Structure 1
Amino acid sequence: MSTTNVTPGDRRVALLFPGQGAQHPRMAAGLHGWVPAFTMVMEEAFALLGEQGEDLRAEWLAADPSDLFDDVTRSQPLLYAVGYALGRAVLELGVEPVALLGHSVGEMVAATLADVLSFADGIRLMRDRVAQYADTPPGGMLAVAASADEVAPFLTGCATGDPVIAAVNAPQQTLVAGGRSELAELTRKLRAHGHTCMAARARQAFHSPLVADAAERSLNAWQAVPLCAPTRRVYSVHARSPLGPDLATDPRFWAMQPTATVHFWPMLDRLLAEEDVLLVEAGPGQGLTTLARRHPAVRSGRSAVLPLLPARPDGAEADRAHWHAAVAGLTAEL
């Protein structure tokens, strides 16, 4: 097992947590049984999930998972557990982040690390999310290499399944969500006008009105959970500001997040305007790392980016090698 410790210093660290679309088979599985803090959290998650936990563990560890891996029933609880497990592992190194920034379900990870809710309650809410969102109308998400303003003229409909802006990820990177047939038509139109677009890994139209009914049904579960003011600074992609106690303790704010636009780039921009930091991506892949590297504060060297895991699945040894390199990077920066 890896038991490396880091001695904190003067360099300030911010943690980034990815959301839907970042998942991949065996994400971070190479750290299981090897990094104690990560292993402990994952085992706790599977235990809290009860009978579903063993199925989810098997799906997580499978080299060739089922077609449902990108479905809310698999991806959401796994992204939440893996993100939180990586965050706890970083904290166990002795790192105290000055900021937390999560994308989509990553904001729930950030809130848990900021003590807004407990991990046990977070897993219970994930179980409820699975139940409420599994039968939402067929939908998906589409990544477009264009600004939100450039995409907006193509989003002319007002029906429930019509595509909407789901996330503003970068000045030229926009995520759209909607019904499957509507997204197929939108893809055709965008490509005809020279825009590059690619389907994101999602079987539900998160951050669109298509999941509004499920979000409303989830409110009861959120109302049953104790919510507290954050103990760490969370830059909220939904509030478009640092998370204050009023919103942090508002069940509706959390329940309705899956229907709301993710303003990742504006909040990254605000964070990097207020802090010169080492941005550590605590999640599968390097999607947020790639976005953050485009920011002027990172390009100029005022801030830096450090992913914990490989950009794409490459086996247990690659997970461990990247973890070791990240720990070494944290040690050097701290």
Structure 2
Amino acid sequence: MSQNVSLMFPGQGAQHHGMGVGLYRDEPVFRNAMDDFFAALGNDGEQLRDEWLSAAPGPLLDDSSRAQPLLFGLGHALGAAVLARGIEPSALIGHSVGELAAAAVAGVFTATEAGRIMAGRSEAMAKTVPGGMVAVAGTVDDVTPHLRGDVVVGAVNTPRQVVLAGPQEDLQAVVQALAAHGFACQPARARQAFHSPACAGAAVEFESAFDGVRLSTPRITIRSTRTGLPVTPDQAATPEFWAAQIALPVRFWAALDHLLEEEGTHVLLEAGPGGSCSSMTRRHPAVREKRAEVLPLLPPAGQDPGMDVDTFDRALTRLSTVPHA
């Protein structure tokens, strides 16, 4: 059996101040990829870069206008740095905006086009009603009876961890009801109700950001967290496929489950701030049974930026020593 290497790209909620800045300082390929993306954003990119590299966290880090492009940029740049080391992933999987980072790494669109796409995404989301997302320790069937208003299950991360999304007032009422019934609820670091009907209008507007963008067939298989299945050439070439994602549920566990069903052993590299995708993936039976291993490419929040290069190099060194099945 063969060893399958996959890259995982986290989404909203994984962001933290200082993520990846140490790698930006010391890893040329990563730095160049980030600079190309910031340049593609124009004046907004220069401001975003300055906020990212600042000594103190900016007040809008959890807003989609900051978190989303930064998470995209980090994922795309980490993917470029991994490919530059001669590692050829067999698959890519991205959570929410992470799926767009996967598309960029797979060559669906260029870094320059990505600047336009991500700017359009931020502009569209800025017009949505105030909302949020809350992680709940429970199944879809557990939480469904407590939903009300426009609150929906916006993500299924594991069989027993879902994320609810919706407008603020409705979401708070649902969380209170769940807490009263003993459910553990944890607010996600998001100010918008991603992956809910509140974003339906934004999805339509976001589609126009792809006008004039030549969408190509992925060079690397993308395990879509919209469908749970590989992205087809027709889907990759359709702007609606990428745009509608912001109003539809994230099926992370379904995509991961199908990926880890493939024959052989698996190594999953988390291409983003260390923690979110890794913690979910480690709950999968394939990981618990040692048929799959998860390696973060960046350290978790709170670590000195000097640990970035050590974590990145350690993961790739470990990858080269994992025995083939």
Q: TM-score, normalised by structure 2?
A: 0.96
Q: Which moved more, 1:100-109 or 1:209-218?
A: 209-218
Question: Within the alignment, does 1:192 sit opposite 2:180 as a pair?
Answer: yes
Task: Confirm or deny: 8 A CA contact 2:148 2:170 kept in the other structure.
Answer: no
Aligned to 1:71: 63
Root-mean-square deviation (Å): 1.3
Decide which of 64, 75, 94 is 1:102's aligned counterpart: 94
2:156 partner SS: strand
Distance 1:254 1:93 in 2: 29
Task: Confirm or deny: 8 A CA contact 1:33 1:39 kept in the other structure.
Answer: yes
Please give the residue correspondences for 1:67-146 in structure 2 after superposition, counting only pairs within 5 Å.
67-146=59-138
**Amino acid across the alignment from 1:98:** S
Task: Confirm or deny: 8 A CA contact 2:18 2:52 kept in the other structure.
Answer: yes
Q: Which moved more, 1:323-332 or 1:79-88?
A: 323-332
**Amino acid across the alignment from 1:136:** T
Task: Confirm or deny: 8 A CA contact 1:227 1:249 kept in the other structure.
Answer: yes
Decide which of 249, 252, 255 is 1:267's aligned counterpart: 255
List alignment gaps of at least 5 residues for structure 1.
Answer: 1-9
Distance 1:223 1:260 in 2: 21
Deviations 1:265-319 (A, max 9, x none): 0110010001431011110121111111111111101111111111223121122
Question: Within the alignment, does 1:172 sit opposite 2:160 as a pair?
Answer: yes
Aligned to 1:51: 43
**Amino acid across the alignment from 2:304:** G
Distance 2:131 2:3 in 1: 43
Decide which of 212, 226, 251 is 1:238's aligned counterpart: 226
Deviation at 1:143, TM superposition (A): 0.5
Deviations 1:176-215 (A, max 9, x none): 1001111111111111000000110001110011111111
List alignment gaps of at least 5 residues for structure 2.
Answer: none
Aligned to 1:14: 6
2:164 partner SS: strand
Decide which of 21, 28, 32 is 1:40's aligned counterpart: 32
Q: Which moved more, 1:78-87 or 1:117-126?
A: 117-126
Identity rate, percent: 47
Deviation at 1:128, TM superposition (A): 1.2
Deviation at 1:253, TM superposition (A): 1.0
Task: Confirm or deny: 8 A CA contact 1:137 1:204 kept in the other structure.
Answer: yes
Aligned to 1:248: 236
Question: Within the alignment, does 1:318 sit opposite 2:307 as a pair?
Answer: yes
Deviation at 1:91, TM superposition (A): 0.7
Task: Confirm or deny: 8 A CA contact 2:128 2:192 kept in the other structure.
Answer: yes
Distance 2:307 2:182 in 1: 37
Distance 2:260 2:157 in 1: 15
**Amino acid across the alignment from 2:21:** A
Distance 2:73 2:193 in 1: 21
Task: Confirm or deny: 8 A CA contact 2:23 2:308 kept in the other structure.
Answer: yes
Deviations 1:50-77 (A, max 9, x none): 1111210121112332221111110111
**Amino acid across the alignment from 2:50:** A
Question: Within the alignment, does 1:28 sit opposite 2:13 as a pair?
Answer: no
Aligned to 1:308: 297
Deviation at 1:33, TM superposition (A): 2.3
Aligned to 1:7: none
Distance 2:222 2:301 in 1: 27
Distance 1:187 1:156 in 2: 10
Question: Within the alignment, does 1:291 sit opposite 2:277 as a pair?
Answer: no
Distance 1:324 1:117 in 2: 28
Q: TM-score, normalised by structure 1?
A: 0.93
Task: Confirm or deny: 8 A CA contact 1:141 1:206 kept in the other structure.
Answer: yes
Distance 1:226 1:209 in 2: 28
Task: Confirm or deny: 8 A CA contact 1:27 1:313 kept in the other structure.
Answer: no
